[in-house]
Amino acid sequence: MTETAPSSPAFASLGLREEILRSIEDSGYTTPTPIQAAAIPVVLAGRDVLGIAQTGTGKTASFTLPMIEKLSSGRARARMPRSLILSPTRELATQTAKNFETYGKYLKLSHVLLIGGVGMGDQEKQLEKGVDVLIATPGRMLDWFERGRILLGGVQIMVIDEADRMLDMGFIPDVERIISLLPARQQTLLFSATMPKEVRSLADRFMSEPAVIEVARPATTSTNIEDVVVMTAPRDKVEGLVKLIRSHDIDKAIIFSNRKRSVAELNRTLKRRKLNVSDIHGDLDQSQRQATLDAFKRGDLDYLVATDVAARGLDISDMPVVINFDVPTHPDDYVHRIGRTGRAGRKGRAFTFVTSEELKYLAAITGLVGREIPALELEGISGLDEMVEAAEPKRGRKKSSGGAKSERPKKAKEDAAPPAARAAETDAKDLADEASDKKPRRTRSRPAPAAPAPEPRIMGTDEPQPDLHEPETAPQEVVARPSSRGRSRRDASREEARADAPRAPTPSRDEPPARERGRSEGREGQQVLGFGDAVPAFMRIVVPKTIKPADEE
């Protein structure tokens, strides 16, 4: 069932008690926003609520006000909060806690804020006394539960705030686990700026026939915001930002960047340009972040450079300008970022710097919001046409030189390949050339015909012996034999036998040096000629040990 908002009701008609109405009046509000007018009566009736409304529409008060009304009667027990609110960021959780302080100041309700970067001592003391409202980020909530410092059996009202942001930050599994730890839960409230299928699936599993309250189409920008894009080259971004601030009289703004490192660098750069600026991102501890936000709200700072951690949950009513130094990679984040301006009926401006690499993100944004975003040209800053013209010659040079460049990697790849791989990839002519190139090297590596190379020897002796391990496929070569004139017949026949025996192969230059030959086990009283463990046993040749050197015979 989808509820519709009343036309223009007053808070007094929503069923809130006098103490709450007085605190609302003290805050300067007289008329509820559409999401407040539609959600507050349904929450007071005890139904589950699935609220969909864009950032800056007053979602927080739409559940804090009726919760204060319902919790005003009853008493909390030690370590057992009566209600639980989960927020995706520390800033949003802190803002929710301030809502309870503001609207519940005339009632004796207590609340505890569990977020990272804050000491546990004071929080634990408050829990020991018992609290009505527990406000926490999912990770901190589970940490306290697993330490046994908190009991969740008494939670009756469960609120999931900014559910789509929970999804973006990967908190949905933690949220599901926390919900499973709430056996006494009587009412579940889920609020989100958009409704992706994962969030809808979460609602279907854990909510009982919720009233769907949608006051604006998801992911649409406010009509009070004038947003434009500034086309620029990456090198001109900083200069364009400074020129935009000075030429458009921007005295106060939130400047968004996508990465923490970019935020810190941009903060330092703008300070060098004499701008009153500071930054906020996830690497800062909670005390630093809160001090920076407080200074920005007071007006001590003119510009705040931030990541998306500050895109939601910042209740800064008077924010005239938002600047996207980087185009958000998710189109929904564009809506949430610029939703910081144009609030409470005020006019707002939003500027987004776009480079050629970010055009795809801009296309996704325009597709989401359903309209084209007009472009703004800054004097002295390259626009889209200049970027395209500057890119054309580069692409042409790259294309014309691509052929020459492509040959070098190919040649380097061939040089790096082993000889066998190169031979497999060449044609017959290359093989013939390669063979002819190797022949002189093999010939030079052999001894001269008149001086035969030293023969292999039996280990432990000085007697040259024939090497019988030459493969059968070894090429046959003509070997010049020395003359036997002047020698005995026995010596000549002995020399001929040695010459006729197969010669050991000469290693090529590309081959690694032969491993040192070791002693192998053989039969008793005999030695084995071999190359160690690399030679199988059946190839080892048994040689009688009684052979003596020629000079001893």
Percent of the chain with pLDDT over 90: 41
Cα–Cα dist 447/109, whole Å: 104
187-192 and 49-52 beta bridge pairing: parallel
* H-helix segments, 428-468: 428-445
Q: Which of 231, 185, 229 is nearest to 208 (CA)?
A: 185
Q: Which residues pair with 305 in a beta bridge?
A: 255, 279
Q: pLDDT tens digits for the chain (553 residues)?
A: 455 444 446 898 999 999 999 999 998 888 898 999 999 999 999 999 999 987 667 889 999 999 999 998 888 788 899 999 999 988 889 889 999 999 999 998 899 999 877 777 878 888 888 899 999 999 999 999 999 889 999 999 999 999 988 987 889 999 999 999 998 899 999 999 888 889 999 999 999 999 999 886 555 667 889 999 999 999 999 999 999 999 999 999 999 999 888 999 999 999 999 999 999 887 787 788 888 888 998 899 999 999 886 555 566 767 899 999 999 988 878 888 888 888 767 889 999 999 999 999 999 999 988 899 999 988 877 665 555 555 554 444 444 434 334 344 444 444 444 444 444 444 444 444 444 444 444 444 444 445 555 554 444 444 444 444 444 444 444 444 444 444 555 555 555 555 555 555 555 445 455 444 444 444 444 454 455 555 566 666 665 555 555 554 4
In which region does residue 236 sit, left (phi positive, over 0), alpha (psi from -120 to 50) or beta (all else)? alpha
Q: Which two tokens stand for residue 387?
A: 């970027």
> pLDDT for 107-133, tens place per residue?
988 999 998 777 778 788 888 888 999
CA dihedral 11, 17, 19, 25 (to 10 degrees): 10
Q: Return all residues near 479 (Cβ < 8 A) that are at least 6 apart.
A: 449, 452, 499, 503
Cα–Cα dist 145/178, whole Å: 9
pTM for this predicted structure = 0.57
Helix axes 59-71, 90-103, angle to 10 degrees: 50
* Helix (H/G/I), strand (E/B), else coil: 496: helix
Structure confidence at residue 181 (pLDDT): 93
Q: Which of 164, 181, 185 is nearest to 52 (CA)?
A: 164
Tell me which CATH code domain 2-214 carries: 3.40.50.300
Q: Which two tokens stand for residue 429?
A: 């002519």
Tell me if domain 2-214 and domain 225-387 are identical in fold: yes
Q: What CA–CA distances, in Å, run from 114 to 40, 192, 343?
A: 25, 21, 28
Instruction: Write down the domain spans for the chain.
Output: 2-214, 225-387, 454-504+514-553
Cα–Cα dist 178/524, whole Å: 79
Q: What CA–CA distances, in Å, run from 49 to 40, 62, 211, 235?
A: 10, 11, 5, 48
Cα–Cα dist 256/237, whole Å: 13
Q: Which two tokens stand for residue 503?
A: 């010669």
Q: Which two tokens stand for residue 73?
A: 């009667």
Structure confidence at residue 439 (pLDDT): 42
Q: How many Cβ atoms are within 10 Å of 501's Cβ, its own excluded?
A: 14
Structure confidence at residue 479 (pLDDT): 44
Handedness of CA 351, 354, 358, 363 (dihedral sign): positive
225-231 and 348-354 beta bridge pairing: parallel
> pLDDT for 129-185, tens place per residue?
889 999 999 999 999 999 988 999 999 999 999 998 898 788 999 999 999 999 889
Tell me which CATH code domain 225-387 carries: 3.40.50.300
Q: Which residues pair with 112 in a beta bridge?
A: 134
* Helix (H/G/I), strand (E/B), else coil: 463: coil
> pLDDT for 313-360, tens place per residue?
566 767 899 999 999 988 878 888 888 888 767 889 999 999 999 999
**CB contact at 8 A, 331 and 365:** yes
